[in-house]
Amino acid sequence: MQTPLTKNIKPGRDFATLADYRATGGYEGLRKAVTSMESLQVQQVVKDSELRGRGGAGFPTGLKWSFVPMGENAPATKYFVVNADEMEPGTFKDRVLMEEDPHQLVEGIIIGSYAIRATSAYIFLRGEYHLSAERLAAAISEAYDQGYLGKNILDSDYSLDLYLHTSAGRYICGEETALLNSLEGKRANPRAKPPFPQISGLWGKPTIVNNVETVCNLPHILYYGLDWYHGLGRGKDKGTKLFGASGRVKRPGIWELPMGTPIREILEEHAGGMQDGYRLRGFLPGGVSTDFMLPEHLDVPMDFEAIAAHGSRMGTGTMIILDDRTCPVEFVLNVERFFSRESCGWCTPCRDGLPWVVAILEDLIQGKGRPGDLDLLHHQTRMMGPGNTFCALAPGAMEPLQSALKYFRDDFEKYLRRPVLAEAG
Ligand SMILES: Cc1cc2nc3c(=O)[nH]c(=O)nc-3n(C[C@H](O)[C@H](O)[C@H](O)COP(=O)(O)O)c2cc1C
Ligand code: SF4
């Protein structure tokens, strides 16, 4: 079974019902966990699986869980929160998982919650995901009816309540500490770390925040075991991943493939290659907050370290294609407008720097650029680089800009060579 996450998604079927889900081993991973394993054993299995978070940063899931206080002296209240905000442009992998097989996520949440002995769990869902909300709400209700949620799950000593919360809607709500503030009813500004959420998260209690796709791996790791899971990846990273492509490819979409699948295979075989009349100039490997890669990188495998070794990040694994008829400068302006609008305004470099970047790019495109503008843009990428802002939104926003300046410098300079159309004010 090579596609555990999407095996229940079938052409001609609306979505996997509870009966469909159970017909392929659904809720058996949970049964195994709560009836025959201690919470710490579940943690150990997930640690040994080497599952890495699918929300963008690739942090090892079992290691993250191990920071949560356990045992008799641990706080009585703990939370397990699923990050289903998915506002990264070009990314729609979590939506597919939630709409098409909602019970998979529900089962994963109960397993993750059991592993840290959470008392309540939350799904923090992107507000526009109406169909996901409807299907998840129905799945949660069915899970209560079947004894998978509520008091004494499957007659064990473990009890859990699961709540669905729809976001009021900002990109920053996907940052895990801003998400927790939002869930508490506060303004969605990121929190200072430390303390990390594992120690002091939602309402000051130990909290795990994991991405939807990460959590959807858990039932299968528990049910099918470590050897099977380790056998799925093709590179260093384990398991499968939902990879995607959007832009001028013949078949935009997402596909569940082994971790470590070469980029060329994803773009040429699964996405069908470029549309007629278009050539590939570059691509962002995982949403807009990653660095551009080039056609010369097509044979790099999609795993966290291989992509990092080539100057980018796997991010969400859903690629955005830059074709040869799209201006990279306009592409980047579009992206920076998004980030500028979504800045939460909490820290100065991001609040003021992003609109400044947008203004420079707009001037450049309108023929009002000045000789020092490219150096100034480069300077901005350093000012908003890692460590200079309160959260990772601004450094993420600088990744497509810094790599475009590196790889497509001629396209930027072309605008400086144009005659000035109007005097800058
Ligand atoms: C600005 C910003 C937006 C983010 N948006 C999301 C998101 O929509 N979904 C998500 O899972 N992680 C998002 N993240 C990453 C989360 O902060 C966090 O690392 C992730 O939910 C952890 O889950 P994982 O360990 O399972 O990957 C975002 C991070 C930043 C800085
Ligand atoms: S980097 Fe931007 S989004 Fe993050 S805290 Fe600062 S202002 Fe807010």
Residues 197 and 168 in one domain: yes
Provide the domain count of the chain: 3
Structural domain includes residue 57? yes
Structural domain includes residue 424? no
Q: Cis link prior to 195 (omega < 30° from 0)?
A: yes
Residues 6+ apart with CB under 8 A from 132: 84, 95, 98, 99, 102, 125, 126
Structural domain includes residue 12? no
Domain CATH for 357: 1.20.1440.230
Residues 142 and 285 in one domain: no
Query: pTM higher than 0.85, yes or no?
Result: yes
Q: What is the pLDDT along the chain (425 residues), one digit of tens a residue?
A: 799 999 999 989 999 999 999 999 999 999 999 999 999 999 999 999 999 999 999 999 999 999 999 999 999 999 999 999 999 999 999 999 999 999 999 999 999 999 999 999 999 999 999 999 999 999 999 999 999 999 999 999 999 999 999 998 899 999 999 999 999 999 999 999 999 999 999 999 999 999 999 999 999 999 999 999 999 989 889 999 999 999 999 999 999 999 999 999 999 999 999 999 999 999 999 999 999 999 999 999 999 999 999 999 999 999 999 999 999 999 999 999 999 999 999 999 999 999 999 999 999 999 999 989 999 999 999 999 999 999 999 999 999 999 999 999 999 999 998 755 555 44
Domain CATH for 109: 3.40.50.11540
Structural domain includes residue 7? no
Of 208, 230, 252, the position where a domain reaches its end is 230
CA distance 317 to 81: 22
Residues 101 and 182 in one domain: yes
Of 230, 250, 265, the position where a domain reaches its end is 230
Tokens of 119: 């008392």
Structural domain includes residue 2? no
Q: Which residue's C-alpha comes closest to atom 4 of ligand 2?
A: 391
Residues 249 and 356 in one domain: no
CA distance 208 to 305: 24
Residues 254 and 294 in one domain: yes
* Best residue among 91, 129, 176 to mutate for probing ligand 1, ranked by most atoms within 8 Å of CB: 176
Residues 104 and 226 in one domain: yes
Residues 158 and 247 in one domain: no
Would you state the pLDDT for residue 75?
A: 96
Residues 78 and 134 in one domain: yes
Q: Which domain holds residue 337?
A: 328-417
Would you state the pLDDT for residue 394?
A: 98
Structural domain includes residue 3? no
Would you state the pLDDT for residue 425?
A: 46
Confirm or reject: Cβ of 53 under 6 Å from ligand 1: yes
Residues 189 and 307 in one domain: no
Residues 123 and 158 in one domain: yes
Would you state the pLDDT for residue 78?
A: 98
Q: Which residue's C-alpha comes closest to atom 25 of ligand 1?
A: 53
Cα pseudo-dihedral 183, 184, 189, 191, rounded to 10: -110
Confirm or reject: Cβ of 4 under 6 Å from ligand 1: no
Q: Give the ligand whose atoms come closest to the C-alpha of residue 187.
A: 2
CA distance 288 to 338: 10
- The three-class DSSP label of residue 160 is strand
Tokens of 217: 């791996």
